[in-house]
Amino acid sequence: MPDGFVTAPHCGMHFRHRWPIKHNGCMPGSGRVFAFALVCVFAGAHFAYSQGGAPPAAQPAAPHPPRPVPPTRDPHTPGYVKAKELPDGAVPAANQNGNFIIGPTHTPAPELADPARPLDGTVVEFTMNSEDSKYYPGIARNPDSLPAPDPANPARLLGIETHPQAYTRKVAVYVPKGYVRGTEVPFIVGADGPDRLLFAALDGLIAEHKLPPIVAISIQNGGSDAQGSERGLEYDTMSGKYAEFVENEVLPAVESHANVKLTHDPDGRATTGNSSGGSCALEMAWYHPEWYHRVLTYSGTYINQQWPWNPETPHGAWGFHDQLIPHSPRKPIRIWMEVGDRDLLNPNTMRDDMHDWVLANERMAAVLAEKHYPYQFVFARNAGHVERSVREQTLPEALEWVWQGYKAK
C-alpha cells in the first residue's frame, strides 16, 4: 500500500493521512478499529495491498496528524428532537413510538446476556462470487487516488479512481427451530454479515414467544469501505439496485441452500444494518416498498457518502431527510433508529455540512415525525459509532418493535 495509508483489518478499510475518506465504522466494535487505525498512524505503520509488506526503509513515512475525536453531543441541544430520558439501564417499550434517550450504562439484554448460549435454531452458510453477479461484478479504489472536494461543489468528491476487483462474499442464514419445510416464513436481511448478534437476539426472542419464527439472512459486503469501494458502491448508492441484487441473486440462493420458502409479503420482510449498512437498509425499503416495510438501523449513515456523485440525489443519503421524506407521499415503512452521543463528525476532508451522524439521525427523527411515520429513535449516551454494548442492550427490543403488528397471511 502507498505511503499515507493504514488498514483496519476488521473492516477492510484504508485511510490516507489527510483523511479524505471517512472511517465508516462498518461493524460492531468499530471503536477498536478506530483505535487501531490511530495507533498505526502515530507509529507510522505501513501496509501493502498484497504481498509487498512494509515499504523500503528508504521511503520513511511522513508524520501523520491525528484524526479529531468526535465530541460528546448533548441530546438536549437546541434543534434536536425532544426526547424522553429513560432511567439509566432502561430501554423503550417495544410498543412505544417516538424519541428516547438511554444510558450511560449499557447492560446486555437477557436474550444476549450469555454469549456462550448455543442457538436453538441452525445457521447455514454459503458463498457467492462476483463473477456470477449481474449487479456487482466488483470494484476497488485505486491506491493512488487523491480524493478532494470539487471546488465548484463541496458536496461532490473528485479524484476517486477505481479498477475491477473480484470478491467472494459469505452469506449466513439463521433458520429458527421448528421451521416447517415448505411453509412461507418471514425474514430479515442484514448487511455486513455474518451478524451473530442478530441471530442470537432472534433466537432468544423466538424461544420466549415474543416473535414468530423468522429467518435472518446476513450478507457480507463486497469489500473495503467508503467512496470507490465495493462496499460503498453497494450500500451508499441511492437507488434500488442493492435490493434488486438481494431479490434476484441472494434470496433464490438462500431458498436453495437453506431449504426455506421466503415470504413475498412485504409486511413480513425487514432490513437491518449498521452505519452505511443502515442507510442501505432504508434504501432497500424506500426504493422497493413493495418488497420491504420494516427497517432497523444503528448509527445510520444518513449523510453525503454516495459515490459516484448523482445529480438526481446530489446529497447522497443526507437527501432522505433533506428532500425525499419531506417531499414524498408517506410510504408503508416503519423504522427503528439509534445514534450514539459520540458518533462520527466530519471524519474526512469534505466540509459540506452533511457529515454529522448525530445531526443526520436527529433530522431523520424530525422528518419522520412530521410525516407521521411509525418510528422509534434511540439516542444513546456514552456510545460511539455502532457501539456494541448498545446493540447488546437494545437489539432484542428493537426487533420486537420493528415486527410489531405483523400477522402472517
Distance CA 273, CA 293 (A): 15
- Residue 260's nearest CA partner among 173, 366, 160 is 173
Cell of 227: 467512496
Examine residue 308 and say whether the peptide bond preceding it is cis (omega within 30 degrees of 0): yes
Please state, in angstroms and rounded to a whole number, the distance separating the CA atoms of residues 317 and 306. Answer: 7
User: 61: which residues sit within 8 A by CB, 6+ positions away?
Assistant: 3, 4, 44, 45, 46, 55
Strands 153-158 and 148-150: antiparallel
CA-to-CA distance for 9 and 308, rounded, in angstroms? 25
By percentage, how much of the chain surpasses pLDDT 90?
77
CATH H superfamily, domain 84-402: Alpha/Beta hydrolase fold, catalytic domain (3.40.50.1820)
Report in angstroms the alpha-carbon separations of 341 from 77, 217, 322, 375, 385: 11, 29, 22, 19, 9
- pLDDT tens string 273-325: 999 999 999 999 999 999 999 999 999 999 999 999 999 999 999 999 999 99
Query: pLDDT tens-digit profile of 142-192?
Result: 999 988 889 999 899 899 999 999 999 999 999 999 999 999 999 999 999
Q: Dihedral, CA atoms, 140, 146, 147, 149, nearest 10 degrees?
A: -160
Residue 56 DSSP class: P
Per the CB < 8 A criterion, the answer to whether 323 and 297 are in contact is no
What's the pTM value of the predicted model, to 2 decimals? 0.84
Beta carbons of 188 and 131 less than 8 angstroms apart: no
Sign, CA torsion 224/225/228/232: positive
Q: Give the sign of the dihedral formed by CA 308, CA 311, CA 312, CA 313.
A: positive
List Cα–Cα distances, 329 to 286, 333, 372, 402, in angstroms: 11, 12, 11, 21
| Close Cβ partners of 249 (under 8 Å, ≥ 6 residues apart) | 128, 132, 133, 134, 135
Instruction: Give the pLDDT confidence of 347-372 residue by residue, as tens digits.
Output: 777 789 999 999 999 999 999 999 99
Judged against a pLDDT cut of 90, whether residue 333 lies above it is answered with yes
Cα(157)–Cα(315) distance, integer angstroms: 11
For strands 168-175 and 261-262, give the pairing. unpaired
Pairwise CA distance, residues 186 & 356, whole Å: 34
Grid look-up 410510504 returns: 331
Query: Is the confidence at residue 64, as pLDDT, over 70?
Result: no
- Domain residue ranges in the chain: 84-402
Q: What is the pLDDT of residues 388-401, one digit of tens each?
A: 999 999 999 999 99
Contact status, residue 292 vs residue 188, Cβ threshold 8 Å: no
CB 375 within 8 A of CB 339: no
Asked whether the predicted pLDDT for residue 96 surpasses 80, the reply is yes
Tell me: pLDDT of 373 over 70.
yes
pLDDT of res. 409: 77
Lowest mean pLDDT among 19-33, 104-118, 125-139: 19-33
Sequence-separated contacts (24+) of 353-359 with Cβ below 8 Å: 354/155, 354/303, 354/304, 354/315, 354/316, 354/318, 355/22, 355/303, 355/304, 356/303, 357/299, 357/300, 357/301, 357/302, 357/303, 357/385, 358/73
Which cell goes with 307? Answer: 459515490
The pLDDT, as a whole number, for residue 72 is: 98
Quick one: pLDDT at residue 42?
Answer: 35
- CA 138, CA 288: separation in Å to the nearest integer? 23
The yes-or-no verdict on residue 34 having pLDDT over 90 is no
